[in-house]
């Protein structure tokens, strides 16, 4: 056999072995079974072996050609290795494509495999773009590359690293939301807005009174007073001004557990560092403050006591009633998905075990209008206080839900997901469900959402 062939076989075999091990390690399942909606392969091991044969042939052809060419030239070995390395690198992303259609990390559906023909008639003009999106969502080592990019770009800076619209404070390992990015927002027409919101709240309170409903407004203080951030990002808290104004100008029961949270934060974090929500501990403090207020109206109500709850700790984040631990929304937005990201999770958060969990029934087939079983909850607890509670507001509701669910007979959690807090949306539900108590839960920076509660000069067009 020619020297060229022998060397080619050796090189191709070694390369195939190396690539095979790398592929097997990076993608043990080697799932090529679906390309879009078309089932291509079912025998996974067969695909794997097929790919290895393909790689071997490719490497053999390339290496024999290279040797042939190298013999004719004075070709340096470093360039030869360079070309081989390049060839391997070009093959890696294609070597394993994710079969899943959904990314939990990115909280979105992956792009689907495009069709060349639309309705079997017309050529899909966007095929190229759609194919690129499809491949870009699924190529091998995508997560590692994204994390590498984030790590590299963060390593260039000393204190703060901005990625995908959020900022990481490298010293405190706190991630900030865009509201802190750049310059302070201009709060135009603040006084007029305050008056309109106060008027809205008063009207809503009157509406509730007419239906024998007790209304509470639980305002969650902003996160930046509870996590360690650089002074450069300190901003005035406009929310406090609003609260003071409402307390003076409305008769609504407002709960603003700022001092309680500050006190609790000394013991354990009440806000997450990698997520913009409050922790279970924070939510528990909010719950206690709320229940203290509710107890004035309903003295018989039983309030959960922290001492009677089982406790555990985790460095992960949960912002859901259904206890789904993850790295946090801001962390995901930032894009550190590998071990570098894990280094940020250095804080232990307090969690509670709900002993009554088995006695709580969550109705996922609720007939409530526009019920979304991912965000909305209709909860029954027979042992709870015999009152119906309707909770509206923003996503801070969710960590609070666990405690409320163990206190009342029925709790409907109905957060607003797009600043659409206008009464017409809720009137149907309130009239139908006839709650005894309504709780509005929202963070202080979100207060202006209440502008849309009733149509007014500041309302967005669609709410008028």
Partner 1 sequence: MLFSSMTFIFVFLPIVLFLYFIVKKELRNTLLLLASLVFYAFGATKHVFLMLAIVMLNYVGALLIDRFQNKKKFLLVATIFCNLTILIFFKYFNFIYDNVSALFNLNISVFNVFLPLGISFYIFQALSYVIDVYRGEVKVQKNLINMALYICLFPQLVAGPIIKYHDIEGQIVEREVNLSDIAIGSKRFIIGLSKKVLLANALGEIADKIFLLDPSTMSHSVAWLGSIAYSLQLFFDFSGYSDMAIGLGLIFGFKFMENFNYPYISKSITEFWHRWHMSLSSWFKQYVYIPLGGNKNGIIKTVRNLGIVFLLTGIWHGAAWNFVVWGIWHGFFIILEKVLNLKEFEQKHNILPVKILMHIYCILVFVSGWVIFRAGSVAYAFTYLKNMFFIGNSVPSHISDNISYYINSNDMFIIPVAILCCFPVFKNFIHIKHPVFKTCMNIVLILLLIISTASIAADTYNPFIYFRF
Query: What residues numbered 156-175 form the site for partner 1, per CB under 8 A?
Result: 156-158, 160-162, 164
Which of 85, 311, 342, 364 contacts partner 1 by CB under 8 A?
85
Instruction: Output Rg (C-alpha) for the chain, integer angstroms.
Output: 29
Each residue 113-142 as x (binds partner 1 by CB under 8 A) or -, in order, gives: ----------xxx-xx--xx--xxx-x--x
Binding mask 392-421 for partner 1 (x = CB under 8 A): --xx-------------------x-xxx--
- Least gap, CB of 317 to partner 1 (angstroms): 13
Binding flag, residue 183, partner 1 (CB under 8 A): yes
Tokens of 298: 């309903």
38 vs 183 by CB, closer to partner 1: 183
- Binding to partner 1 (CB under 8 A): which residues in 212-241? none
For residues 1 and 89, which CB has a smaller minimum distance to partner 1 in the complex? Answer: 89
Smallest gap from residue 83 Cβ to partner 1 (A): 6
Nearer to partner 1, 39 or 90 (CB): 90
- Interface region with partner 1, contact rule CB under 8 A, candidates 27-35, 67-75, 256-264, 293-301: 67-75
Q: How far is the CB of 309 from partner 1 (least distance, A)?
A: 27
Closest CB 136 distance from partner 1, rounded Å: 4
149 binds partner 1 (CB under 8 A): yes
* CA distances for 100 relative to 48, 82, 104, angstroms: 18, 34, 10
Q: Which is nearer to partner 1, 76 or 382 (CB)?
A: 76
Least Å distance, CB 115 to partner 1, is 13
List binders of partner 1 among 293-352 (CB under 8 A): 329-330, 332-333, 335
By CB under 8 A, name the one of 39, 45, 72, 296 that touches partner 1: 72
Rank residues 202 and 338 by Cβ distance to partner 1 and give the closer one.
338
CB of 47 to partner 1, least distance (A): 17
Judge contact between 304 and 407, C-beta under 8 A.
yes
Q: Which of 22, 62, 252, 301 binds partner 1 (CB under 8 A)?
A: 62
Footprint (CB under 8 A) of partner 1, residues 89-108: 89-94, 105-108
Among 446, 450, 454, 463, binds partner 1 (CB under 8 A): 446
- Among 223, 276, 350, 410, interactor with partner 1 by CB under 8 A: 276
């Amino acid at each position: 056999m020619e020297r060229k062939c022998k060397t080619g076989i050796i090189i191709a075999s070694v390369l195939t072995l190396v690539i095979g091990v790398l592929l097997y390690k990076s993608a043990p399942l080697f799932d090529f079974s679906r390309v879009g909606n078309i089932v291509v392969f079912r025998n996974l091991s067969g695909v794997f072996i097929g790919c290895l044969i393909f790689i071997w042939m490719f490497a053999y052809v390339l290496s024999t050609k290279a040797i042939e060419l190298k013999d004719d030239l004075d070709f340096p070995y470093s360039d030869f290795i360079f070309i081989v390395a390049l060839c391997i690198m070009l093959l890696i992303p294609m070597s394993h494509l994710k079969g899943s259609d959904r990314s939990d990390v990115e909280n979105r559906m992956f792009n689907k495999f495009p069709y060349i023909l639309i309705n079997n008639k017309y050529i899909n003009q966007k095929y190229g773009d759609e194919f690129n999106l499809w491949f870009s969502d699924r190529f091998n080592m995508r997560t590692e590359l994204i994390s590498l990019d984030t790590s590299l770009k963060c390593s260039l800076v000393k204190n703060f690293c901005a990625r995908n619209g959020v900022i990481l404070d490298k010293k405190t390992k706190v991630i900030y939301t865009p509201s802190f990015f750049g310059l302070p927002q201009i709060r135009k027409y603040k006084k007029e807005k305050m008056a309109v919101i106060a008027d809205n709240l008063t009207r809503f309170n009157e509406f509730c009174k007419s239906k024998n409903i007790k209304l509470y407004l639980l305002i969650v203080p902003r996160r930046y007073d509870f996590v360690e951030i650089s002074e450069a990002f300190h901003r005035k808290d406009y929310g406090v001004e609003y609260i003071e104004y409402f307390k003076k100008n409305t008769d609504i029961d407002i709960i603003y557990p700022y001092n309680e949270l500050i006190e609790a934060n000394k013991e354990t974090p009440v806000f997450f560092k990698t997520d913009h929500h409050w922790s279970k501990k924070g939510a528990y403090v909010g719950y206690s403050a709320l229940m203290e207020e509710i107890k004035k109206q309903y003295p018989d109500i039983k309030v959960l006591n922290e001492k009677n709850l089982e406790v555990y700790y985790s460095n992960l984040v949960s912002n859901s009633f259904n206890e789904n631990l993850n790295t946090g929304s801001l962390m995901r937005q930032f894009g550190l998905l590998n071990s570098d990201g894990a280094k940020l999770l250095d804080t232990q958060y307090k969690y509670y075990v709900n002993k009554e969990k088995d006695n709580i029934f969550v109705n996922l087939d609720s007939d409530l209008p526009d019920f979304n079983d991912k965000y909305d909850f209709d909860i029954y607890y027979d042992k709870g206080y015999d009152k119906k509670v309707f909770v509206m507001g923003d996503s801070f509701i969710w960590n609070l839900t666990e405690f409320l669910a163990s206190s009342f007979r029925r709790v409907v959690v109905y957060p607003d997901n797009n600043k659409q807090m206008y009464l017409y949306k809720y009137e149907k539900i309130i009239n139908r469900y006839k709650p005894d108590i309504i709780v509005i839960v929202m963070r202080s920076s979100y207060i202006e959402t209440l502008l849309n509660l009733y149509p007014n000069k500041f309302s967005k067009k669609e709410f008028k």
